[in-house]
Amino acid sequence: MNSNDASFLVLFLAPVREYLADDKVSEILINGPNQIYIERGGKLELTSAAFASEAQLKAAAVNIAKSVDRQLDDMHPDLDARLPDGSRVHATIPPISRCGTIISIRKFKKDMLTLAKLEGFGSVPHDGVLLLNAIVKLRKNTIVSGGTSSGKTSVLNALSGLIPEKDRILVLEDASELQLQQQHCVYFETRKPDKHGEGEFTIRDLVIASLRLRPDRLVIGEIRGGEALDLLQAMNTGHSGSMSTIHANTPIDALSRMETCAIMSGVEMPLSAIRMQVASAINCVVHTMRLPDGSRKIVRISEVMPLENSEYRMRDLMYWKTDSLAPDGTLTGHFALGEKPSFFADAGIMGIELPDYGG
């Protein structure tokens, strides 16, 4: 997309132009023409900005859709796409949304987020960085879990930076957000159906196609449906060190969500077989959370253990413990080491440093 297209979009989004230009603003949430929130420093703020009318706001949304070759109309009232600068935009129009056109813009971060920067922000301790480095270098299949806007994609991006340059990495996403630093990366993006309902290419289609392209590792933006089963099978058949994200409230919930998504594939498999696939394919879960003070942290790094009585088991290798929360929102807490990982000896053989677990 050329710069003229970008300028055209900025004109339509004129009421929020200052927030688009402000690097401290991470999200812009437009709830109809007269209610616009922003997220700055992890906290939501109501702004005084407004669009002149619902018609102006809807026109902005429709033009964003047109600029990325998507449709937004009565037959297709929902849009998930990327702006020219890489920001993620989601829009919904009436009658699906009852208060007018809704637009959510998650801004593209220009600076590359690394684990060193996350450590500097206090999002993960040095022991956590050592653990994550070992997990990636030892080719442990990893899922980054967490709630909406908890920092899953940012953590996945930082984790991917630890993948060795010699590996061929295939990156599969609904809307491209990941910025891997390695040279040998091949990027894929899903395609929505055209106005005739044809030509759709889903994440599941991408996973299946990518396995024919000799990947060393697969990096998938987010697991949402039946592609989970294809990813699990890939992880179990030689594509170790792959990683993705999933919405979940806890690490163990992430495994249950993977199970549910795998069932959505439509492939007839006993639940016990799917559960065995999940437990054997996923080695580690990195759980992110946005805390009450607005900060985002990696609150758990957990290892998946073998099933016991057909139930998932995990052990925490590191976790965050909140000590107190003051009335003004100030949070105090600390990171702590949990149990020694099963790959502790392997890391030693490979010369990979791990935290001092004692004993």
Please write the tens of the pLDDT for every residue from 115-139: 999 999 999 999 999 999 999 999 9
Calculate what percentage of the chain has a pLDDT beyond 70.
Answer: 96
- Give the pLDDT mean for 99-111: 85
Helices in 175-329 by DSSP H: which ranges? 203-210, 227-235, 251-263, 271-281
**115-350 has the same fold as 3-106:** no
CA distance 281 to 99: 44
pLDDT at 259: 96
Order of strands, edge to edge, in the sheet holding 36-40? 43-46, 36-40, 25-31, 102-106, 88-92, 78-82
pLDDT digits (tens, 9 = 90+) for 181-200: 888 999 998 887 777 778 88
Q: Which fold has domain 3-106?
A: Beta-Lactamase (3.30.450)
CA distance 85 to 97: 26
CATH 1.10.357.10 fits 115-350, yes or no: no
Q: Which residue has the higher pLDDT, 39 or 111?
A: 39
Q: Which residue has the higher pLDDT, 255 or 9?
A: 255
- For 22, the 3-state DSSP assignment is coil
- Give the pLDDT mean for 52-80: 89
- Give the pLDDT mean for 46-55: 95
pLDDT digits (tens, 9 = 90+) for 219-238: 998 999 999 999 998 898 87
pLDDT at 341: 96
CA distances from 314 to 136, 172, 255, 307 (A): 18, 27, 10, 9
- Give the pLDDT mean for 93-103: 93
DSSP 201: B
pLDDT at 288: 97
pLDDT digits (tens, 9 = 90+) for 293-344: 888 999 999 999 999 999 999 999 999 999 998 887 778 999 999 999 999 9
Q: Give residue 2's pLDDT band: very low, low, confident or very high (50, 70, 90).
A: very low
Whether the CA torsion 48, 52, 55, 57 is positive or negative: it is negative
Q: Give residue 101's pLDDT band: very low, low, confident or very high (50, 70, 90).
A: very high
The mean pLDDT of the chain is: 90
Q: Give residue 5's pLDDT band: very low, low, confident or very high (50, 70, 90).
A: very low
Residue 67 has pLDDT above 80, yes or no: yes
- The residue among 232, 323, 227 whose CA lies nearest residue 273 is 232
Q: Give residue 4's pLDDT band: very low, low, confident or very high (50, 70, 90).
A: very low
- Cis preceding-peptide flag for 95 (omega within 30 of 0): yes
pLDDT at 359: 62
Calculate what percentage of the chain has a pLDDT beyond 90.
Answer: 62
Residue 166 has pLDDT above 90, yes or no: yes
pLDDT at 3: 43
DSSP 243: E
Q: Which residue has the higher pLDDT, 9 or 315?
A: 315
| Segments making up each domain of the chain, as ranges | 3-106, 115-350
- Give the pLDDT mean for 59-84: 86
Q: Which residue has the higher pLDDT, 106 or 275?
A: 275
